[in-house]
Structure 1
Amino acid sequence: MHSSFVSAMPRITIALNEKDHRALKLLSLRDKRRLSELIDEAIKIYLTSTGGYGLSISEANSEPTDRGQRPNG
């Protein structure tokens, strides 16, 4: 049952610089948690603190930005 739930989740690939990757890997070893758990937790904290969970399509910026950066102005 668990594996079917995991396979239904969208997957992404991210690129990390060496310093961030090493720090996350060391934290995962220290805390005996999977790297994906740490990243998932960090994303949830960010979405909660920025109000991301409350956004809707109509509130999204209509102008696309490069690589998630905010537009100037």
Structure 2
Amino acid sequence: MHSSFASAMPRITIALNEKDHRALKLLSLRDSRRLSELIDDAIKIYLTSAGGYGLSISEATPEPTDRGQSSNG
């Protein structure tokens, strides 16, 4: 049975090349951990190192372009 917290988490699907999938699967077997735990840890490490947790919507959204000007001059 799933906890209410787990069911509320957004889910994503990713595609891995064969080499990466095999390496992750072997690591998960070696460490007796689920594959999803390894991927979750990797994402958290990346977000921490790249400053992702400190971003706000205004920083992540590109500046709007002026669509009112004609490119013909």
The runs of 4+ residues in structure 1 deviating greater than 2 Å are none
Structure 2's unaligned 5+ residue stretches are 64-73
Q: 1:16 maps to which residue?
A: 16
Identity %: 90
TM (norm. structure 1) is 0.81
**1:5 matched to which residue of 2?**
5
Determine the C-alpha separation between the residues in 2 that align with 1:27 and 1:52: 26
Q: Which residue of 2 aligns with 1:71?
A: none
Give 1 or 2 for the bigger CA radius of gyration.
2
Task: Give the count of matched residue pairs.
Answer: 63
Structure with the larger helix share: 1
Q: RMSD across aligned C-alpha pairs, in angstroms?
A: 1.6
Unpaired runs of 5+ in structure 1?
A: 64-73
TM-score by length of 2: 0.81
